Amino acid sequence: MEYKDYYKILGVSKNATEKEIKSAYRKLARKYHPDMNPDDPQAEARFKEINEAYQVLSDPEKRKKYDQLGADWYRWTQTGGRPEDFNWSQWAAGPGGQRVHVRYGNVEDLEDLFGGGGFSDFFNAIFGGMGMDSSGFDFGTRRQSARPRRGQDIEHELEISLTEAYHGTSRLLTIGDRRLNVKIPAGARTGTKVRVRGQGQNSGPGGQAGDLYLRIKVAPDPRFERKGDDLHTTVPVDLYTAVLGGKVPVTTMSGVVHLKIPAGSQNGQTFRLRGKGMPKLGKSGEFGDMYVKIDVRLPTKLTPKQRELFEELRRLES
């Protein structure tokens, strides 16, 4: 079993204060959170590791025991001792070789995401997840954990339209013999995960069921291109409106609005409609913007009168 350097994992010194440890944890947890790194198993593993380190270093009793273990480990390896020969049993067992039961504290975030089995063998060995028998430390089998294990989480991809993502929606899902009505919040985007508590796999006796995670995929919409909470679209503008100014209708997610086109507008010019983008997830009443690029259309056929007028304009310009 490998020794885990929790201080190194959080990037803090061994003399770090509680405030420094908490600050480092929050920064790393945000960076590697699964919601920020969908479908990235390496980020998920790092997130678990960060949570585990914080559970130990933020608890004075666990940190004291871990520091004592670290000192022994350092002396052992510095004097030529092989890691595999280190006496783990003195750290995993209480008086008389009995298993140590340690209260785990608040690990809600980690367990909600990954289940009760989210901790490493190292953590469980030192803080009560594994035990001793008469022959020494049992690496081959895991004893009953201090807390009943949760059932496995289930992940499922759910495709919705851009309109559904704008307004929010609900879907009736069938999971095994269960029918669930799941709400999708307004502002959801591809990669957003919606958690339905207790609707994953069932656990063993006394345990809690896992959770259902819906990984959202927003289908492309031919009218708009979505970039974050902003929407981009292109509208045709006739030559006369581009030259003289005017208004053109623009379709938005909340209906048609009329965009003012200044005189002398150029082909490809972009205008912003504030607050006409997508709702910002989790921020009630806040919206992104819509960016409208104009496509100036030149006439392909001219009447004799139009041609005469254009010729007159050319003479005036020259």
Rounded Cα distance between 226 and 287, Å, is 13
Flag whether 54 is in a domain. Answer: yes
Residues 194 and 34 sit within 8 Å (Cβ to Cβ): no
Instruction: Write the pLDDT tens digit of every residue in 115-164.
Output: 334 566 666 656 654 333 322 333 333 444 445 677 788 888 899 999 99
Rounded Cα distance between 99 and 229, Å, is 53
Rounded Cα distance between 130 and 63, Å, is 19
Say what the pLDDT of residue 39 is.
78
The answer on pLDDT for 231 being more than 60 is yes
Strands 132-133 and 230-238: unpaired
Which residues, including other chains, have CB under 8 Å from residue 278's CB and lie 6 or more apart?
165, 166, 187, 189, 226, 229, 230, 231, 253, 287, 288
Residue 303: band (very low, low, confident or very high) from pLDDT cuts 50, 70, 90:
very high
CA dist 129 to 142, 148, 149, Å? 8, 11, 11
The answer on pLDDT for 293 being more than 70 is yes
Is residue 212 domain-shared with residue 239, that is, in the same domain?
Answer: no
The answer on pLDDT for 100 being more than 70 is no
Is residue 193 domain-shared with residue 267, that is, in the same domain?
Answer: no
Lowest mean pLDDT among 62-76, 202-216, 238-252: 62-76
What average pLDDT does range 297-302 have in this prediction? 90
Rounded Cα distance between 173 and 82, Å, is 54
- Per the structure, the count of domains in the chain is 3
Is residue 40 domain-shared with residue 110, that is, in the same domain?
Answer: yes
Residue 297: band (very low, low, confident or very high) from pLDDT cuts 50, 70, 90:
very high
Is residue 210 domain-shared with residue 278, that is, in the same domain?
Answer: no
Nearest to 53 by CA among 119, 4, 6: 6
DSSP 255-286: EEEEEEE-TTPPTT-EEEETT-SPBPTT-TT-
Which residues, including other chains, have CB under 8 Å from residue 85's CB and lie 6 or more apart?
none
Is residue 234 domain-shared with residue 293, that is, in the same domain?
Answer: yes
Say what the pLDDT of residue 143 is.
41
Say what the pLDDT of residue 177 is.
76
| Residue where the block lists tokens 């209708």 | 249
In this prediction, what percent of the chain has a pLDDT beyond 90? 42
Task: Calculate the CA dihedral of residues 288, 290, 291, 292 and round it to 10 degrees.
Answer: 180
Q: Where are the beta strands (DSSP E) in 58-139?
A: 132-133, 136-137
Nearest to 253 by CA among 227, 280, 223, 282: 223
The answer on pLDDT for 64 being more than 90 is no
Residue 113: band (very low, low, confident or very high) from pLDDT cuts 50, 70, 90:
very low
Say what the pLDDT of residue 107 is.
33
Residue 19: band (very low, low, confident or very high) from pLDDT cuts 50, 70, 90:
very high
Residues 138 and 125 sit within 8 Å (Cβ to Cβ): no
- Tell which wins on pLDDT, 176 or 307: 307
Say what the pLDDT of residue 118 is.
52
Lowest mean pLDDT among 72-76, 106-110, 193-197: 106-110
Flag whether 302 is in a domain. Answer: no
**How high is the mean pLDDT of the chain?**
79
Domain residues for the domain of 238 are 225-297
36: CATH: 1.10.287.110
Residue 99: band (very low, low, confident or very high) from pLDDT cuts 50, 70, 90:
very low
Domain boundary among 110, 128, 146: 128
163: CATH: 2.60.260.20
Say what the pLDDT of residue 121 is.
62
Is residue 213 domain-shared with residue 112, that is, in the same domain?
Answer: no
Say what the pLDDT of residue 135 is.
29
Say what the pLDDT of residue 202 is.
78
Lowest mean pLDDT among 65-69, 105-109, 260-264: 105-109
Instruction: Write the pLDDT tens digit of every residue in 174-230.
Output: 877 788 899 999 999 999 999 988 888 877 666 788 888 999 999 999 999 999 999
